[in-house]
Structure 1
Amino acid sequence: MLRLSCGDSVLDLNPDLGGSIARFTHKGADVMRPTPDDATDVLQSSCFPLVPFCNRIRDGKFVVEGHKVQLSPNLGDSPHTLHGQGWRNAWRVVEASASRAVLSYRHGADEWPWDYEATQVFELRDKGLRVYLNVTNLSRGHMPAGLGFHPYFNLTDQTRLKAHVDGVWISDDEVLPRNWHAGVLFKDWTHGDALKFDKLIDNCYTGFHGRAEVFEGQNLTHVLRASPDCHWLHIYVPLGEDYFCAEPVNHMPDPFNQPNSGMKCLKAGETRMIWMDIALA
């Protein structure tokens, strides 16, 4: 475990568990859902990186420039490969100081037939955190690349979320995007709405302006901001749990089967980068 501190804020990182955030506190209070001490799965963490793609790829199959790719399932019995490779592997500590750390993950071509290197930079502040995530194509040919963050926040009956979006992808029974709905569906995030709901929320919202606000009742508690190319916000609110996820990403789920999905191809040596801020009110 790697610990950073700045003023009243403390950040614990777990490089071995998917390069994840294990805990983020301010004045001893948890800003994010804390990771259990005995956690062995990155899905128990406070936040983990999505690289080199976000969310699901249908049946793990796609074709890019003649490459027929078949990825193995990596979450339970679902056939749809999820979130890339970074979250399922250990990261290396490249640099660490009192309030800043750099983690790196190097991937050698395998069933994902491209070499790449991903880097996370954590910068802790007294009342906030900024994280940078980038990926560099180390292969000779073009490599598809997308990025995102998967933060978990604490949830109560009073927790509300406000984020400007213009529509939502309605998911099918396999949590893959089926069709796009303009405007509000069930929850009006643009004007602020309660996160607790009587149905599972696991959807990708479009037209995200890069800012989401979290409230407890009427009190703003923290603000999530993301880099300008994160036009999508994936919101996950499971039934009966005490957490929710608001994931800024730079492409939509199942990107190889949708037009204008946000997925891009990197030339040899090219880098793609995003960032996320969590600021305390």
Structure 2
Amino acid sequence: MEAALSPAIGGSLLRLTLDGADLLRRAPEGTDDPLAMASFPLVPYANRIADGHFAFGGQDYRLPLNFGDHPHSIHGFGWQAAWTAKATDGTSAHLIHEHEGDAGWPWPYRAEQQMAITPSDLSMSLFVENRGDRPMPVGLGFHPYFVADDATTLRFDARSLWLSTPDMLPEREAPADTLGDWSRPATVRGDSLIDNVYGGWGGVATVERGDGLRLTLTATGADWLHVYRPPDAGFFCLEPVSHMPDAINRGGMATLAPGAVARLSMTVAIDEIDQALPKSASIA
């Protein structure tokens, strides 16, 4: 098992491999685009905030539109910031990102990622501390891209699904099997776009690939799972997140008191393969 990191590009994961085989989509050599990474952190909010506008504590705020010509702000600040590697060794890493506060997000915070790899799993924890003197809204998540072949199946349990508007904001709640029944293993590749959030997620998702590899994603602090499946692609995303898109405008965003810390963690584990597990692991 090997994980490679790029603190300078959004505190992102460049690759996660088993005996050289990609478990997550590998970042192209030399890219500086966070959206091309194997995974990146979402902090201090996940997914979209409509029109980059929200009200909190009786005041209105406007965020920069940070996703090309998309009409909404997306994924927070951490994925587009340079993180600092505070401590690394062969099997662990500790990354830091600090925000001093600005007009769009006036609350200063300190975000940390702690990562550890073993021969059978990679664990990643994301923390954010409110370093200001007033409460701030907060949300966390991870954005891993899983490799998918034609035989790859996905399984997870959820209570419901939110259908989206054309510009990808939640519009109405629907049964969890509306876009496919993931409560049993189902082929994940398809010819339509899925870019939707599932509520009441059970905290576990299982991916089985045609090469005999089974991966298990588990998360804590994430009641929601956002699934991004572009049509006819060799990858898909399973994003454990603490809230639905645009939650800050819908009464579903947590509030963090001054000095308090919010946490979310994710583990990607090799649950079963057709051969014995390797005996070593490293972070580069």
The correspondence for 1:69, drawn from 58, 61, 69, is 61
Match of 2:131 in 1: 138
The correspondence for 2:39, drawn from 47, 53, 59, is 47
Identity of aligned residues (%): 39
- Distance in 1 separating the partners of 2:100 and 2:176: 42
Match of 1:6 in 2: none
In the alignment, is residue 123 of structure 1 matched against residue 113 of structure 2?
Answer: no
1:188-227 correspondence to structure 2 within 5 Å: 188-217=181-210, 219=212, 221-227=214-220
Query: Relative CO higher for 1 or 2, CA cutoff 8 Å, sep ≥ 6?
Result: 2
- Distance in 2 separating the partners of 1:67 and 1:133: 28
- Distance in 1 separating the partners of 2:212 and 2:30: 33
Moved over 3 A (4+): 217-220
1:86-235 correspondence to structure 2 within 5 Å: 86-110=78-102, 111-217=104-210, 219=212, 221-227=214-220, 229-235=221-227
* TM-score normalised over the length of structure 1: 0.94
Structure 1, gaps ≥5 residues long: 1-8
- Distance in 1 separating the partners of 2:52 and 2:61: 8
Match of 1:3 in 2: none
* TM-fit CA distance, 1:98: 1.3
Match of 1:28 in 2: 20
- Distance in 2 separating the partners of 1:159 and 1:64: 42
The correspondence for 1:56, drawn from 48, 57, 71, is 48
Amino acid at match of 1:43: L
- Distance in 1 separating the partners of 2:148 and 2:20: 18
The Cα offsets for residues 194-214 of structure 1, whole Å up to 9 and x where unpaired, read as: 111221000001111110000
Asked whether the 8 Å contact 1:163–1:211 carries over to 2, the reply is yes
Match of 2:258 in 1: 268
| SS of corresponding position for 2:94 | strand
Asked whether the 8 Å contact 2:176–2:198 carries over to 1, the reply is no
The correspondence for 2:11, drawn from 13, 19, 24, is 19
Match of 2:280 in 1: none
- Distance in 1 separating the partners of 2:193 and 2:176: 19
Match of 2:30 in 1: 38
* TM-score normalised over the length of structure 2: 0.93
| SS of corresponding position for 2:196 | strand
Shift in alpha-carbon separation, 1:254–1:132, aligned structure 2, 3 A: same
- Distance in 2 separating the partners of 1:268 and 1:43: 32
The Cα offsets for residues 35-66 of structure 1, whole Å up to 9 and x where unpaired, read as: 11121210000000000000000001111102
Asked whether the 8 Å contact 2:169–2:246 carries over to 1, the reply is yes
Asked whether the 8 Å contact 1:213–1:220 carries over to 2, the reply is no
Match of 2:244 in 1: 252
Match of 2:234 in 1: 242
Shift in alpha-carbon separation, 1:218–1:24, aligned structure 2, 3 A: closer
* TM-fit CA distance, 1:216: 1.8
| SS of corresponding position for 2:198 | strand
- Distance in 1 separating the partners of 2:139 and 2:130: 12
| SS of corresponding position for 1:47 | coil
- Distance in 2 separating the partners of 1:108 and 1:257: 23
- Distance in 2 separating the partners of 1:52 and 1:198: 33
- Distance in 2 separating the partners of 1:258 and 1:52: 17
Amino acid at match of 2:237: C
* TM-fit CA distance, 1:182: 2.3
In the alignment, is residue 80 of structure 1 matched against residue 79 of structure 2?
Answer: no
In the alignment, is residue 280 of structure 1 matched against residue 277 of structure 2?
Answer: no
* TM-fit CA distance, 1:219: 4.5
| SS of corresponding position for 1:256 | helix
Asked whether the 8 Å contact 2:137–2:255 carries over to 1, the reply is yes
